[in-house]
Amino acid sequence: MSGDMSYNAVMSRKNEIIKAAAGLDFEKFESGGIAFDYEGIMESTGYGLDEVRAVQSEVSVGGTPVIELRNLTALARKCAPSGKGARIFIKDEAANPSGSFKDRRAAMAVYQAKKAGYPGVIAATSGNYGAAVASQAAIRGIKCIVVQETYDSRMTGQPEIIEKARKCEAYGAEVLQTTVGPELFYLSLRLLEETGYFSASLYSPFGIIGVETLGYELAEQMLRRTGRHPDVVVCTNAGGGNLTGTARGLRKAGCYASVVAASVNLAGLHMASDTAFNKKSFTTGHTGFGIPFATNPDRSDVPRSGARPLRYLDRYVIVSQGDVFCMTELLANLEGLERGPAGNTSLAAAFSLAQEMDAGQIIVAQETEYTGAGKHVQPQMSFARRNGVEIRFGDPKDEVPGKNIILPENPALLKARDIETDSLRVSFIRHAVENFGAMPGDEDIKFLAAETSLSAERAEEIAGDVLASRDGG
């Protein structure tokens, strides 16, 4: 272990630390340019889909039910034009041991850590993933540290994050909490180096292959249940791993449903801002993660992220905070299912999108999550009020993140709005080319096209425009 533990020194050793902590040499897959061998990294885990399913089954992960939401479907049809209103289903991932789809990721990370002889695992997360890793570590009998970004500079913590800390500790994990800023990844890297623990990164290939089983199961279950695959699958999108793994699993099952990313609109709130940190009511599934990680996925805690959402998404929509709070209440009151906000983000979008679709079509919100004391609507809204956020009824399209939360006056006002995906794809190429600093070669252009689901000709055109703009052309 190096003696220099300053921030700059530790961050400069990031690749070296992760190589030891993940047991993966990412450099083997690099081309020396923009491109890298993405499928090679995914295959480097050594686990096929059947083996992943077997590993997860050992620890009661997966095999979660699909539930048709008949009452919500009926409500959507009342709000829709005649003949519209697709059947709405959810994949109830709250049935996993710690209560979210992230058990699938954690199951593979912890299994690999135990198999490779690591004494413990470390996860850097303020979300459900910490609880999932802690739960799996308890099952497998190895140690667990969860590093959480929890407080602003006044040491005020969000109720949802504090709830998740409680859950992690209930499973026997040690929880270390930081204030908002760069400490989260710095501290986790330090701990990885000091302890020799395994990096249970959200963005490693082990995590993404774990989510592939979700998409595969969903396709199998819908085929058995309805005689065909769904037309649309909606994924709550933050760092991109949920959507990436689900889409890959759908494809492996022969299902080519339209894949829609859904995030809560938090435009104008900077996620690294101390003053904005507690102005938001959602710790995940929002645009503060979804947009930056879609357009620059390798900003994560591994050299190359396994989460590459622009490869797989067909459409990207946003919903408001008020929309999601409303959907949480509708799900509980109409369907008797009390679930947390992350999955209800995709469900809010699905409720709106169903109204555009024919009544004979099928739309699935592909995950739910557990709920608890800090996740409920009332503590979230009370916390928002204490932070100067106005709560009122009206039209959610008028909501200004950080200033107000507008609950829809009636369900017909709950609407998903499109993000222009072409601008995201252009932004991805711009980041890649600016970081590279030169015109990409043929291999890089082919890679950029695959990353953005564009033609090679279009990717090359955008790259040329980026360099021309930089050079004042």
Residue 461 belongs to domain spanning: 427-470
Among 153, 170, 204, which residue terminates a domain?
204
Domain assignment present for 121: yes
Task: Clarify whether residues 189 and 77 are in a common domain.
Answer: no
Domain assignment present for 2: no
Among 379, 395, 419, which residue terminates a domain?
419
Amino acid 470: pLDDT:
79
| Residue 297: pLDDT over 80 | yes
Task: Clarify whether residues 364 and 317 are in a common domain.
Answer: yes
Domain assignment present for 387: yes
Task: Clarify whether residues 293 and 405 are in a common domain.
Answer: yes
Task: Clarify whether residues 91 and 113 are in a common domain.
Answer: no
Task: Clarify whether residues 20 and 168 are in a common domain.
Answer: yes
Domain assignment present for 455: yes
Task: Clarify whether residues 322 and 389 are in a common domain.
Answer: yes
The CATH number given to whatever domain includes residue 17 is: 3.40.50.1100
pLDDT in tens, 425-458: 999 999 999 999 999 999 999 999 999 999 999 9
- Residue 1 pLDDT class (50, 70, 90 cuts): low
Domain assignment present for 346: yes
Amino acid 2: pLDDT:
60
Task: Clarify whether residues 399 and 438 are in a common domain.
Answer: no
Task: Clarify whether residues 323 and 198 are in a common domain.
Answer: no
The percentage of the chain sitting over the pLDDT mark of 90, rounded to a whole number, equals 90
CA gyration radius, the chain: 21
Among 399, 419, 439, which residue terminates a domain?
419
Task: Clarify whether residues 359 and 461 are in a common domain.
Answer: no
pLDDT in tens, 195-226: 999 999 999 999 999 999 999 999 999 999 99
Task: Clarify whether residues 407 and 275 are in a common domain.
Answer: yes
Task: Clarify whether residues 132 and 119 are in a common domain.
Answer: yes
Cα–Cα dist 317/349, whole Å:
7
Domain assignment present for 1: no
Task: Clarify whether residues 184 and 116 are in a common domain.
Answer: yes
CA 102 to chain centre: 9
Amino acid 473: pLDDT:
55
Number of domains in the chain: 3
